[in-house]
Structure 1
Amino acid sequence: MMVDFRLPDLGEGLPEAELVQWLVAEGDTVTLNQTIAEVETAKAVVELPSPHAGTVTALHAAAGDVIEVGSVLISFQLEGAEPEQPAQDVATAAESPAATAAESPAPAEEKAQPNLVGYGAAPRSSGRPQRRARGGAPRPAVIDTAVLEAAPHDVLHTPEPVEVVRERPRSTPPVRKLAKELGVDLALVEASGATGLITRTDVETYAARIDSRDQAAPAVAPAVTAPNGGERTTRIPIRGVRKHTADAMVRSAFTAPHVTTFHTVDVTATSELIASLRDDRALQGHRIGVMAVAAKAVCLALLRHPTLNSRWDGENAEIVQYHYVNLGIAAATQRGLVVPNIRDAEKLTLVELADAIGGLAEVARAGKTAPGDMSGGTFSITNVGVFGVDAGTPILNPGEAGILALGAVRRQPWEHRGEIALRDVMTLSLSFDHRLVDGEQGARFLREVADILHEPGRAMLLR
């Protein structure tokens, strides 16, 4: 029996996802819950498990396509079931996605699909992914470079399937757009970089080589370049994390009246504490830094200043104060800024906070942060100091009352016990929602965090 698998709702009510890469190909035999693809939502890269055991008969999207929830993604011939059409017809259907979609069974036959989380999306009437202009039919995976060098021009452009010997080509959206404009099949382009990522130069070089092999083919117009030989412009599609971050920041900036206040503090005692903890053999393997100490200070101060740990509920005309801290940690990644949060951070020790921060950062850099880990935060911290920046005016995460930016720790002359001495100095920047937090409340909270960083022992006096 032939069944279709539709893109499920991956959580958070996100309406679409971009197909990053297929991990299977047509004709592959897959097992139940085997990972078949990676898709990128506005918040994270998610691995899709197979809901069936059987043979892949058709892939209804290509890497880079944006697919709406409920659209058909892949078709299977279930294990142990008789094929519904001859092998020749199946091959024809594989070459024609429209034919495959037309011959797929009605949505009612998809009851065999297991009850996995989010697999309840309503099917679309068309049964096909709605693709943006740069999308296209599924392409074969990358072939051996020896095939590329030896093949004549007509072979390089054949639509017939090519033997798969390694993973599908990796490239960026602008490169895929350029390849489509030049009529280049990325599956036939060899990546020059060590990371295996196909670049604009790789595509242009391949296009030039094809042009030299077939003078009868229309000439490819040379790229317009700047006097220094570089590209004049680069167009990057607004999608994924970048789109989600932009929407959230605009919504926050034009909803919550932001106020930012600054305080520069001597954190030499914190630097000495961190150094002593790093030298402690019992704490080897725990990366305790200024972010962890600041996180502990924020948790202690929030429980004493609940206005900074609250939410404006305009619909019910209420201010919701939290008696727990879900601490957001801003992490810069190649996909953009993400802010996963540490649940019930106020219950963790300094060492546990350091481990949690390190774990969140590692998962975020790998692009594996789950959408649920980026919701439900009550307060956030961002460390601009790692980029050598002293201060900033951070924008609130929507729904949160405050965000603290940590500046760079600098060794500079500072007044200490009536004399000038070299001290470790840091600037703290606190942005808060003025609907929830008065200037006095924000200043008192910031001063308490600064006092703990100035004298970490003061934390022993708080409860």
Structure 2
Amino acid sequence: MITDFRLPDLGEGLPEAEIVQWHVAQGDQVTLNQTIAEVETAKAIVELPSPFAGTVAALRHDAGDVVAVGEVLISFDVAGAEAPAPEEDDVPAPAETREPNLVGYGAEPRAAGRPKRRVRGASAGGSADDAVREAAPHDAIVAAPPEREMRERPRSTPPVRKLAKDLGVELALVEASGASGIITREDVEAYAGRTATAPTVPVGIDRPSDRSATEREERIPIRGVRKHTADAMVRSAFTAPHASTFLTLDVTASVRLVEGLRADRRYADHRVGILAVAAKAVCVALRRTPDLNATWDEAAGEIVRRRYVNLGIAAATDRGLVVPSVKDADRMSLLELAGAIGELAATARAGRATPADLSGGTFSITNFGVFGVDAGTPILVPGEAGILGLGAVRRQPWEFEGGIALRDVLTLSLSFDHRLVDGAEAARFLTDVGDILREPGRAMVLA
């Protein structure tokens, strides 16, 4: 019996996802919950488990295709396999139309016509047929892939896949040297070095006349995180009236606290930094300024004050800027916050942040000081009333106890939604955060 599996709603409310990589091929035997593919939404890369045990009858899309939620992704031959038994209160649908019940999934099939989908690699000069194709009907017979495609798809990490794409290397041709058959950066670079045939041009010599139009320009499809970020920033900039305020202060005491914790063997694994100290200060300061932890509900005509803090931490990744959030950050100690921030940032940079990680934030912090920048005007994450920017910590002359001394100085940049927060409230919040960073012992009194 041929059974279709449709791309489910991955719990984010997003309309589509891009197929990053198939882990199965036509004719493969699969087990229940075996990973069959990796798909990339506007927020995260998600592994899709198989809802059936059986044989892969057809892959309805190729790697690189953008697939709408509810569209048939893959077909299985489940002849002889037992489908999960329905709950007692459920009325089972006919076997031909029954959809799998996956935890967190379960998009309803779309009754309307199937949308067109884009194909990775279509250039500006390509034909319309190359750039856009109609998806095959549900009952269409998909031609068997070439022999190379019949093999198991290669395993690699998102940064390695991006490197391969940038170098024009097809991962299926690369021999893996990593543990459990993982393709590493070194594997990709070595393969690219062996297959490079393009003539080299001496450094400093620019010969534009020798380049084709495609070599002089690069066209990158707007999709994934970049598309989501652009949409969110435009929506934020033209919905919430932004205002910003700044505070430059002496954070020498916080820097010494961080250095002391790092030098103590008992806390060496926690990797406490100035970001974690600022995060703790934000959680404390939000108690006095709850409107900075609120949201503007236009539809209901209400201001919603949150009595919890889900602290967003902006992270620059190979896929673009993402803002995962530490849930209930206000209930954590400094060491717990440092650990949660480090773990979340590492997961985001690896492309493994879950939809739950990337949603539900109430206030955010962006640390552009790691790039050597002193100050900026960050744009609000949609639905949040404030975002705090941390500048670079610089050792410089500063007034101290009636004289001039070398001190560690930092600039804080606060952007806020002026519908929810007045200038006086924003200034009080920034002063509260600054007071804790000047004297981090205050957090022990106020926490």
**Whole-angstrom distance in 2 between the partners of 1:228 and 1:278:** 55
Contact 2:154 2:171 in 1 (8 A): no
Change (3 A) 1:198 1:113: farther
Amino acid of the residue matched to residue 286 of structure 1?
Answer: H
**Whole-angstrom distance in 2 between the partners of 1:362 and 1:261:** 30
Query: Is 1:298 aligned with 2:285?
Result: no
Gaps of 5+ in 1: 83-105, 139-157, 209-223
After TM superposition, the score normalised by the length of structure 2 is 0.80
Deviation at 1:228, TM superposition (A): 9.3
The corresponding residue for 1:118 is: 105
Give SS of 2:218's match: coil
The corresponding residue for 1:383 is: 367
The corresponding residue for 2:402 is: 418
Change (3 A) 1:420 1:249: same
Change (3 A) 1:16 1:197: farther
Deviation at 1:259, TM superposition (A): 0.8
**Whole-angstrom distance in 1 between the partners of 2:372 and 2:331:** 31
Change (3 A) 1:355 1:192: closer
Query: Is 1:109 aligned with 2:96?
Result: yes
Query: Is 1:357 aligned with 2:341?
Result: yes
The corresponding residue for 1:221 is: none
The corresponding residue for 1:239 is: 223
State how 1:63-142 maps to structure 2 within 5 Å: 63-78=63-78, 80=80, 109-111=96-98, 113-123=100-110, 130-132=117-119, 133-134=130-131
Query: Is 1:444 aligned with 2:436?
Result: no
State how 1:14-25 maps to structure 2 within 5 Å: 14-25=14-25
Considering only aligned residues, what root-mean-square deviation do their CA atoms show, in Å? 3.6
Change (3 A) 1:49 1:225: farther
Query: Is 1:161 aligned with 2:143?
Result: no
Provide Cα deviations, 1:14-53, integer angstroms capped at 9, x if missing partner: 1110000001111111100000000001111010000000
**Whole-angstrom distance in 1 between the partners of 2:265 and 2:421:** 43
The corresponding residue for 1:103 is: none
Amino acid of the residue matched to residue 49 of structure 1?
Answer: P
Deviation at 1:165, TM superposition (A): 5.4
State how 1:209-358 maps to structure 2 within 5 Å: 226=208, 231-358=215-342
Contact 1:380 1:403 in 2 (8 A): yes
Moved more, 376-385 or 231-240: 231-240
Deviation at 1:166, TM superposition (A): 6.1
**Whole-angstrom distance in 2 between the partners of 1:360 and 1:198:** 31
Gaps of 5+ in 2: 83-92, 120-129, 136-143, 176-182, 200-205
The corresponding residue for 2:31 is: 31
Give SS of 1:304's match: coil
Deviation at 1:316, TM superposition (A): 2.3
Change (3 A) 1:58 1:43: same
Contact 1:60 1:129 in 2 (8 A): no
Amino acid of the residue matched to residue 14 of structure 2?
Answer: L
After TM superposition, the score normalised by the length of structure 1 is 0.77
Provide Cα deviations, 1:133-162, integer angstroms capped at 9, x if missing partner: 547799xxxxxxxxxxxxxxxxxxx98534
Amino acid of the residue matched to residue 373 of structure 2?
Answer: V
Query: Is 1:59 aligned with 2:66?
Result: no
Change (3 A) 1:79 1:422: farther
Provide Cα deviations, 1:173-215, integer angstroms capped at 9, x if missing partner: 9969x99xxxx99967999973538999999959x9xxxxxxx
Give SS of 1:461's match: helix
**Whole-angstrom distance in 2 between the partners of 1:337 and 1:242:** 8
Deviation at 1:285, TM superposition (A): 0.9
The corresponding residue for 1:196 is: 188
Give SS of 1:303's match: coil
Provide Cα deviations, 1:410-450, integer angstroms capped at 9, x if missing partner: 11111111111111110100001111111111111101101
Amino acid of the residue matched to residue 365 of structure 1?
Answer: R
Provide Cα deviations, 1:266-309, integer angstroms capped at 9, x if missing partner: 10000110111112222121110101100000000001111211
Contact 1:19 1:67 in 2 (8 A): yes
Higher gyration radius (CA): 1
Deviation at 1:340, TM superposition (A): 0.9
**Whole-angstrom distance in 2 between the partners of 1:280 and 1:168:** 43
The corresponding residue for 1:217 is: none
Query: Is 1:5 aligned with 2:14?
Result: no
